[in-house]
Structure 1
Amino acid sequence: MNTRRPTILDVARAAGVSKSTVSLVVRGSPTVKEDTAKQVREAMAATGYVYNRAAANLRKSSVGLIGLVINDLRNPFFTEFATSVQMALSAQGYATVISNSDEDGALQAQMVSSMIEHGVSAFIISPAYGQEAETFDQIARAGIPCLQVLRQVDPRGDLFPFATFDFARGGLLATQHLIEQGARNIAFVGGLEDRAVTTERMSGYLEALIGTGVQPTSFHGRATRAFGAEIAEKISRETPEIDAAVCFNDQVALGLLSGFARLGRRVGEDFRIVGFDDIEECNQVWPRLSSVDCDIAQFGRDAAAALLDWVETGQRPPALRRAPVSLAARETSLGIDPEGTSS
């Protein structure tokens, strides 16, 4: 004899809806259409599901819970962001549920659904690409505050405000710096070509080349070390006249650096590199990596403060906020003198 109590998943399957929709119905949310709500109630009766209101009230009376969904926690840039957000929220008495979507839009939507079911008060999402509606429409239906950061995949800034860095300015600073260092054939390396964040970072690079006589060259691909190392070999084999690169991020730049090291090409002399994000490792490798400095720790604290202001006072953040960037110039672009320091 099966004595297992029916769960919200059983109801969702019977009604043909998501877990979050069932949760909204049992909580009496007015955002669910009456026909759908009726369908869910009938499924509850058919499965014998009983809503545990006492447990739900206990969850509501507990410390505020914030959902933090990150597209790639393997990347130190996003890890540092998540850490700074979590610490800032903790300082204000909020708990954080952190999840890694691993650049999988379907997994992201599933995680968001589960977090809604468990009663999060708000979301901060650095989103994955793909199946964007499945993620953000359910947040809109639930009426939960949600801040997009670093990437904007849903254009509804009135519902999902977007905070990022001035990436175009960063691309401009990096390219101008390489030109000042004497580079004459500068490539842009990394980033998927059809992504807005790639276009934005590359726009500053293209702006800096106007009037210089330098023809733009780009190598697009996944923003990984493996791709950077692959392009180091490709440049050396096919386009050795290229003498510098602005990289989509530091992961690509570090791969480019190691790739040239294996080939015996001297970075800082034969080839100059500027990365993007200025993760901690930039200052630890040799030669030290020049990079566009995005103060991700402060950015995380600011994102947490903006979200909590929204949750606690109803003050919605602006539809778009861009944090400033600067250039951290080191040996990979400045060069190395015979004593082993920047020239």
Structure 2
Amino acid sequence: MRKITLKLLTRLPTKYGVTGLILIIFLFIYGIVGSYFIMGLNIIDSIYYAVITMATVGYGDYTPHTGIEKIFATTLALAGVALLAYVFNILLTNFQERMTEYSKGARKMKAINDMDDYYILCGFGRVGKVVFKELTQRNQNVIIIEKDENICQSIEECESVVVIQEDATEGDLITKLAGDKCNSVIISIGDDVSNLFIVLTIREQNPDVWIVSRASKIENISRLRKAGANKIVSPEIIGGQDLYFESTRPHLLRITTKHTFDKIFDEFEIIAKHGCTLENIDYHIPGIETPLTREIKTKDPVDGKKYQNYLNTHDDQRHAIDNLYKSTNNIHSHLISGPDKTTFDKLVEDLEKIEDIIGINLSNEEIAEITRKEIKE
């Protein structure tokens, strides 16, 4: 308890403490000078009289007689009482505040210890809020570390959400929390320098924890990766991709087809022949709405040939892709970008010659309903 008290007292705001100390010094000087010139005391007795009058002890060994002496003693006593009350009030108020903060901190640490596992979220800005929403929607335990007091107060805490007001770049709290119970550390601060420092700090003490960091600038992605981040997400890149897909949406075509593994390359040759780009492939598992997605992003037939040669020389990979087609009953969708609707019409016409086309621009819900019917059949 003694150590805690000393720690709290040493952390009191210096602004009020210094102000109180300066006022006490000025009043003490006033008391000594007044005692020497007004009361007619020597320097030692002046110091003594100033102290006992300021402290309102008043032993009675020195008594003011004249009017000026009484005025001096009165002002010194009143100022001493007011000033000491001011200083002690500051000390007690701040001590109480610090004790309250310490009690809150203890409760937060107990709540963290009671969690079986959790995610650490550093930074609660625009990106951090989105991440937090995704985590809470999935009933995950979240520890938020944010240095802004107003932001911390705006977050509602509960058994699964603990908010810690602290700068993640200072101290070692985050390294202690990023232990065995930590599923992942998500760093969403807008400053890449701070993100880099946090990654280095965590990785130094926790070599196995999974770290996901935000990168505001593309050129910092490699630095964050070298520092130890397992995954780097750039809102700039994601935003650019979203803008691209939204701008090309009138020139995007989703074709849901059903064919066996051996038709892959014939299909791709037709897509490339029409100058279209195969953006990705969605594999629809029967009865499940969300598909498995492979990102392709190519229009070059050479890439198709390379992949074909790779599968021809790697039996295990060939069997894996073949099994994937079988597990989806050969139903999958291609997201294709192209120059115009006329090209898409010709593309669909050529694809119909080699495979069964289930539908055009079907939603995942519609495709899931189709696969459910196949299960029943």
TM over 0.5: no
Q: So what's the TM-score if we normalise by structure 1? A: 0.27
- Relative to the length of structure 2, the TM-score reads 0.25
Q: Which has the higher helix share?
A: 2
- Which structure has the higher relative contact order (CA within 8 Å, separation 6+)? 1
